[in-house]
Amino acid sequence: MLLKFTKMHGLGNDFIVVDAVSRKVFFNQKQIQRLSDRNFGIGFDQLLMVEPPTNPDMDFRYRIYNADGSEVEHCGNGARCFAKFVLDRELTNKHIINVETKGGQIQLRVVDGGLVTVDMGVPSFDPAALPFSAEPAEGLYHLEAGGKEHFITPVSVGNPHAVLRVDELRDEEVATMGALIECHERFPQKVNVGFMQVLNEQEINLRVYERGAGETQACGTGACAAVVAGIKQGWLGAKVTAHLRGGDLHIEWQGEGHPILMTGPAEKVFEGQIYL
């Protein structure tokens, strides 16, 4: 089968996006792994599928596959690329787009300057939502990994995250601890791991080790998780700029019961086709 695709990125977190509305497309795990290979395939962090909705109140269904072929619930950077893709391909003329995902329903708003604001929904700090093996608590949770004791904030933003506050962002710590915590036995479905350095109440530096993909240049859900974790712990204000390796995301959260709003860019790199 000849596959047509669009290569896109959100702050360096890169994707191929496939139109499965105009034509039915199916992938198996080995095909996704081959396509994601940066030497022998196209190369990407995630594969995004644009599908017809199963819910008549939604405009599209949005499916996300990691480079290892696993399907995941949510991807914030991918959601912004999704919005740009469906407008560019004239699959819709709406600038407010309602989308169903494995992690729930989201709303995408294309705003001035080509930026996209994503309503990421209401976060959950209930350990069972991730899931995370622990009793609900108000403060930080203790987690032992790599012979060290860590203090984390577990949070679900449609997918599971463990947020650690650190004084410095070190390559070795992100790579080593990220891999250990991702697969920790207390996270039976694995977890995305965020390393957050708080600069002030309005700014953080952030690196994210993503479940099934490793560290990426930027992680939209990771930025949302880090900011809401920082607000919950009293370290951050309601509007925060997250500085990631690929660029900046702007996150707003007004507190318990309110949705997270994430604003950032989405860029098309090229269009192509490849035989599966």
98 annotated binding-site participant: no
Cβ-count burial 23-50 (b if 16+ within 10 Å, e if not): eebebeeebbbbbbeeeebbebbbbbbb
81 belongs to the catalytic site: no
The answer to whether the bond into 131 is cis (omega within 30° of 0) is: yes
66 annotated binding-site participant: yes
Active-site residue, selected from the candidate residues 81, 183, 219, 224: 219
Active-site residue, selected from the candidate residues 75, 81, 183, 224: 75
Strand partners, 9: 14, 267
In the 3-class helix/strand/coil scheme, how is 93-139 assigned residue by residue? CCCEEEEEECCEEEEEEECHHHCEEEECCCCECCHHHCCCCCCCCCC
192 annotated binding-site participant: yes
183 belongs to the catalytic site: no
55 annotated binding-site participant: no
212 annotated binding-site participant: no
77 annotated binding-site participant: yes
38 annotated binding-site participant: no
76 annotated binding-site participant: yes
Residues forming the annotated binding site for substrate? 13, 46, 66, 76-77, 159, 192, 210-211, 220-221
Residues forming the annotated binding site? 13, 46, 66, 76-77, 159, 192, 210-211, 220-221
- Annotated catalytic residues are 75, 219
